[in-house]
Structure 1
Amino acid sequence: MGARKLAAGNAQRKNAVFIEPRVGNARDVPRRGWIEVVCGSMFSGKTEELIRRLNRAKIARQHVEIFKPGLDTRYHAQDVVSHNANSIRSTPIQLPEEMLLLASSCDVVGVDEAQFFDASLVEVCTQLANHGKRVIVAGLDMDYLGQPFGPMPVLMAVAEYVTKVHAVCVCCGEIASYSFRIAASESKILLGETDSYEARCRGCFLEGQKGKQGEEEPLTATAQAQH
């Protein structure tokens, strides 16, 4: 496949819009649940995509419940708010298990900033889906060191649908999938915006990490063989 065809294919995949699968009803088949995961770096549009899907469900007169970690109060204490100011009312919770009670009568469950919850989120989402609910989870797939973040990798493994969205690298303009921390903190959880993080591609992320360490990291044997 030529470079031009490959680029065109990548553009089509990047611009593709998630379409909800067919849902059963009382006259057809019993309602079946599933899990969707929307993941990516900071400023990639994860929350915006979550809100879009939840609003579509509301238009279809489905009962929707949205949850977020109680610690995330960056934009609003209760609302889920995207970086471009789209918002939807949510319920802040401390533990994923709270959703089992609060979402017992709904059709669709939304979870934002899922990386901040503990591993029990996986079992809770699984139980909800097993009881016929559509579960939509949004969160960072990697932390500021480029490592899998919280329960996200396991959720991505058990989900029926995984959508990885991308930002634009602030350094070179390429597709960005890493969250580079510019704030002087080594805490794994640091709530922040453009004053604390930049979206970067792999190359610019690695360059930034080398700059922090003050030295150039050697290539692995595999990487050296590819050069």
Structure 2
Amino acid sequence: MNPAWRAGGGGRAVIRWWHGFAMDLTVIVGPMKGGKSLEMISLLSPLQHAGIPHRIYQSARHGRDTLVTSRSGGSLQTVKVHSLAGAATGDVEWIGVDEIHMFTVDDIAELGVAVRAGIKVVVAGIDLDHRGQLFAPVRALFELAPEKVIYRRAVCDVCRSLDATHTQVLEHGKPFIRELAPSTALPDDGTYTYEARCRRCVVLP
């Protein structure tokens, strides 16, 4: 079967097909404290109970723990990796990736291979960097034309509004506004602290 879009009737979802495989890529993005992990847990935790072959990855740069953990409760066990090379190999039907912004554009290409092989892929991460621009891996994800994009919002840590869209990076309690190479993902190892902020309260370089 050639690559095509196939739409079901009666309001059913549109499904993409690639050489006979239904493609399924779900992207969950938003600022810190926006409930991305909870969304991922709700989508992937049933796989453990059903015994469906799956793997859930986290970047080795994520130094806090080896779990996808929600502030509202619940967790998923993950495998720490430096890259997603070979993620589509082996007996696996689902792949989950947490903190996707900490990976590279080449890693996103590996996920594209997985999706075209018929593996269902769910990823979650921060979409905007400290400059308020899309992380390069997130931009590459959107170029894969995901079937579903879930945008999460958070409570602004400054004004308490419900529409925080940015993650404010703080260094010694002050906004981090130094110039870095484009799309640099800062480590989540305690070096910096982070706040969810709305467009009105965020401080950009």
Residue 45 (structure 2) aligned to one of 55, 65, 73: 55
Q: Does 1:179 align with 2:164?
A: no
Deviation at residue 150 of structure 1 after TM alignment: 3.2
8 Å contact from structure 2 (residues 31, 166) kept in 1:
yes
Deviation at residue 34 of structure 1 after TM alignment: 1.4
8 Å contact from structure 2 (residues 61, 187) kept in 1:
no
Deviation at residue 96 of structure 1 after TM alignment: 1.3
Cα deviations across residues 31-70 of structure 1 (Å, max 9, x unaligned)?
5231110000011111121111001333444222101111
8 Å contact from structure 2 (residues 21, 116) kept in 1:
no
- Write the mapping of 1:101-112 to structure 2, written as runs, cut at 5 A: 101=89, 104-112=90-98
Greater share of helix? 1
Query: Residue 148 of structure 1 aligns to which amino acid in structure 2?
Result: L
8 Å contact from structure 1 (residues 116, 150) kept in 2:
no
8 Å contact from structure 2 (residues 38, 74) kept in 1:
yes
More displaced stretch, 165-174 vs 38-47 = 165-174
More displaced stretch, 168-177 vs 106-115 = 168-177
Give the SS at the match of 1:138.
strand
Report the counterpart of residue 169 of structure 1 in structure 2: 156
8 Å contact from structure 2 (residues 31, 196) kept in 1:
yes
Residue 65 (structure 1) aligned to one of 55, 74, 78: 55
Residue 39 (structure 1) aligned to one of 6, 10, 29: 29
For these two proteins, the number of residue pairs brought into alignment is: 177
8 Å contact from structure 2 (residues 62, 187) kept in 1:
no
Report the counterpart of residue 160 of structure 1 in structure 2: 147
Query: Residue 87 of structure 1 aligns to which amino acid in structure 2?
Result: S
Report the counterpart of residue 95 of structure 1 in structure 2: 83
Runs of at least 5 residues in structure 1 that lack an aligned partner in the other structure? 1-20, 24-29, 214-227
State the identity as a percent: 25
Larger radius of gyration, structure 1 or 2? 1
Q: TM-score, normalised by structure 1?
A: 0.70
Residue 82 (structure 1) aligned to one of 65, 70, 75: 70
- Write the mapping of 1:113-132 to structure 2, written as runs, cut at 5 A: 113-132=99-118
- The change in CA–CA distance for 1:22 and 1:46 in structure 2 (over 3 A counts) is same
Q: TM-score, normalised by structure 2?
A: 0.77
Deviation at residue 181 of structure 1 after TM alignment: 1.6
Query: Residue 47 of structure 1 aligns to which amino acid in structure 2?
Result: S
Runs of at least 5 residues in structure 2 that lack an aligned partner in the other structure? 1-12
